[in-house]
Chains A and B, each alone.
Chain A
Amino acid sequence: MSEAMRKPETNGAPPVISVRGIDMVFLKKAPGVLDGLARRAGLPRPEPVGVHALDGVDLDVMKGEVVGLVGESGCGKSTLGRVIAGILDPTAGTFRFHGREMSEMSPQERYRAKVAVQMIFQDPFASLNPRKRVIDIIGEAPVVHGIVPKAEISDYVDEIMLKCGIDPAFKQRFPHQFSGGQRQRIGIARALAVKPQFLVCDESVAALDVSIQAQVINLFMDLRRDFDLTYLFISHDLGVVEHIADRVVIMYLGRVVETAPTAELYANPRHPYTQALLANMPRISTEKQAFGQIKGEIPSPLNPPSGCHFHPRCPFAFDRCVAERPRLITKAPGIAAACHLLEEAAR
Chain B
Amino acid sequence: MSDVRGGAAQPTLVVEGLKTHFFTEAGVVKSVDGVDLSVSRGEILGLVGESGSGKSVTGFSILGLIDQPGRIVGGSVKLNGEELTTASPKRLRSLRGDRIAMIFQDPMMTLNPVLKIETQMIETLQAHIKIGHAEARARARDALGRVGIPSPEERLDSYPHQFSGGMRQRVAIAIALLHGPDLIIADEPTTALDVTIQAQILSEVQTLCRETGTALIWITHDLAIISGLADRVAVMYAGRIVETGAIAEVVSNPRHPYTYGLIGSVPSRNKRGQRLTQIPGMTPSFLSLPQGCAFAPRCPNADAKCLEMPELSPCPSAAHRARCFHPMPEGAEA
Asked whether, in the complex, the Cβ of A243 is within 8 Å of the Cβ of B267, the reply is yes
A73 at the interface (CB under 8 A from B): yes
- Chain A interface residue count, Cβ-Cβ cutoff 8 angstroms: 48
Do A289 and B265 form a contact, CB below 8 Å, given A1-B273, A210-B50, A282-B222?
no
Which of A221, A238, A281, A292 counts the most B-chain CB atoms under 10 A from its CB? A292
Q: Does B162 contact A (CB under 8 A)?
A: no
- How many interface contacts (CB-CB < 8 Å) are there between A and B? 140
B residues in contact with A236, CB < 8 Å? 194-195
In the assembled complex, the Cα of A297 lies from the Cα of B167 at a distance in Å of 9
**Which residues of chain B in 165-212 are interfacial with respect to chain A, using CB atoms and an 8 Å cutoff?**
166-167, 194-204, 206
Q: A240 vs B269: C-alpha distance in the bound complex, in angstroms? A: 10
B residues less than 8 Å from A281 (CB atoms) = 195
Q: Does B271 have its Cβ within 8 Å of any Cβ on chain A?
A: yes
**Which of A212, A244, A277, A287 gathers most chain B CB within 10 Å?**
A212
**Residues in A whose Cβ lies below 8 Å from that of B272:** 242-243, 262-263
Measured between beta carbons, the chain A residues less than 8 angstroms from B264 are 214
Q: Distance in Å from the Cβ of B51 to the closest Cβ of chain A?
A: 6
Is A288 interfacial (CB-CB < 8 Å)?
A: yes
Q: Which residues of B contact A238 (CB under 8 A)?
A: 195
B263 adjacent to chain A (CB < 8 Å): yes
Output the least CB separation between A6 and chain B (Å).
6
Contact between B267 and A242, CB atoms less than 8 A apart: yes
A285 at the interface (CB under 8 A from B): yes
Q: Is A293 an interface residue (CB 8 A)?
A: yes
| Binary per-residue interface labels of chain A (265-289) against chain B in the complex, 1 for a CB within 8 Å, 0 otherwise | 0100000000011011111111111
What CA separation (Å) do A336 and B275 show in the bound complex? 29
User: A294 contacts the other chain (Cβ, under 8 Å)?
Assistant: yes
Which B residues lie within 8 Å of A217 (CB)?
A: 267, 276
Contact B265 A210 (CB under 8 A): yes
Shortest C-beta distance, B152 to chain A (Å), equals 15
Selected from A213, A215, A288, A293, the residue in CB contact (under 8 A) with B199 is A293
Q: How far is the CA of A130 from the CA of B219 in the complex (A)?
A: 32
Q: Which of B166, B199, B223, B277 neighbours the largest number of chain A CB atoms within 10 Å of its CB? A: B199
Q: Which of B71-87 contact A (CB under 8 A)?
A: none
Contact indicator B265/A283 (Cβ below 8 Å): no
CB distance from B45 to the nearest CB of A (A): 14
Report how far A302 CA is from B269 CA in the complex, Å: 36
Inter-chain contact B277/A214, CB cutoff 8 Å: yes
**B199 and A291 within 8 A (CB):** yes
- Contact present for A211 and B261 (CB under 8 Å): yes
Cβ of A285 and Cβ of B199 under 8 Å apart? no
Q: Is the CB of B199 within 8 A of A294?
A: yes
- Indicate if the CB atoms of B206 and A291 lie closer than 8 Å: yes
Chain B contact residues, majority secondary structure: helix
Residue in contact with A1 in the complex, picked from B51, B225, B267, B274, CB distance below 8 Å: B274
Closest chain A CB from B268 CB (angstroms): 6
Contact check, B263 vs A209: say whether CB atoms are below 8 A apart: no
User: Which chain A residues lie closer than 8 Å to B331 at the CB level?
Assistant: none
Instruction: Tell me if B127 counts as interface (CB < 8 A to partner A).
Output: no
Partner of B248, one of A213, A243, A287, A293: A287
Once A1-B273, A210-B50, A218-B275 are accepted as A-B contacts, the answer to whether A282 and B204 lie under 8 Å apart by CB is: no
Instruction: Identify the interface centre among A210, A236, A243, A277: most chain B CB within 10 Å of its CB.
Output: A210
Range, interface on chain B: 35 or more
A209-253 interface mask toward B, CB cutoff 8 Å, 1 = contact, 0 = none? 111111101100100000000000000101110111000000000
Which residues of B lie under 8 Å from residue A179 when comparing CB positions? 282
| CB-CB nearest in chain A for B164 | A297
Q: Are B203 and A292 in contact (CB under 8 A)?
A: yes
Residues of A within 8 A of B199 (CB): 279-280, 291-294
CB pair A297 B269 closer than 8 Å:
no
User: Is A298 engaged at the interface, CB distance under 8 Å to the other chain?
Assistant: yes
Cβ-closest chain A residue relative to B203: A292
Which of these, B201, B247, B268, B278, contacts A283 with CB under 8 Å?
B268
A239 to B272, CA, bound (A): 10
Chain B residues contacting A276 (CB-CB under 8 Å) are 196
Contact of A284 among B164, B204, B266 (CB under 8 A): B266
CA distance A242 to B273 in the complex (A): 9
Interface flags for B215-241 (1: CB within 8 Å of A; 0: not) read: 000000111110111000000000000
Q: Is the CB of B263 within 8 A of A72?
A: no
Report Cα–Cα, A263/B251, bound state, in Å.
Answer: 24
Answer whether residue B95 sits at the interface, using C-beta atoms and an 8 A cutoff. Answer: no
Q: Is the CB of A243 within 8 A of B195?
A: no
The reply to whether the CB of B318 lies closer than 8 angstroms to some CB of chain A is: no
Please give, as numbers and ranges, the residues of chain A lying within 8 Å of B266 by CB-CB distance.
210, 214, 239, 284
Residue among A211, A238, A281, A295 with most chain B CB within 10 A? A211
21 contacts between A and B (CB under 8 A): A181-B282, A210-B50, A210-B223, A210-B265, A210-B266, A211-B279, A214-B277, A214-B279, A221-B275, A242-B269, A276-B196, A280-B198, A280-B199, A282-B198, A282-B225, A282-B227, A284-B251, A286-B227, A291-B206, A291-B229, A298-B196
Binding site for B on A (CB under 8 A): 1, 6, 72-73, 179-181, 209-215, 217-218, 221, 236, 238-240, 242-244, 262-263, 266, 276-277, 279-295, 297-298
